[in-house]
């Protein structure tokens, strides 16, 4: 499996894809228009553990410690 969207950090580890539970709700904040997101383990120590990349646009991502809250 390969990521669908470009991520700007080569150190973060691509884990897989998830189906987003609320793409329409997230879309009103300019975050997600797609129904899936690429899931990464973040390389940042002390920050959020996961990154959900929703498009290749730089600002279309979610950082979280619990990605399951965004899943179907």
Average pLDDT of every residue of the chain: 85
Does residue 2 have a pLDDT over 90? yes
Q: Are 40 and 15 in contact (CB under 8 A)?
A: yes
Q: What pLDDT score does 23 carry?
A: 59
Q: The tokens 């553990």 sit on which residue?
A: 49
Q: Are 19 and 34 in contact (CB under 8 A)?
A: no
pLDDT digits (tens, 9 = 90+) for 9-44: 999 999 999 988 775 666 666 666 668 899 999 998
Q: What pLDDT score does 58 carry?
A: 82
Q: What pLDDT score does 46 carry?
A: 82
């Amino acid at each position: 499996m390969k990521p669908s969207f470009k991520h700007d950090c080569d150190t973060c580890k691509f884990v897989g894809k998830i189906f987003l539970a609320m793409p329409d709700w997230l879309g009103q904040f300019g975050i997600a228009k797609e129904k899936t997101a690429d899931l990464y383990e973040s390389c940042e120590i002390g920050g959020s553990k996961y990154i959900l990349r929703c498009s290749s646009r730089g600002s279309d991502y979610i950082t979280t410690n619990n990605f399951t809250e965004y899943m179907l």
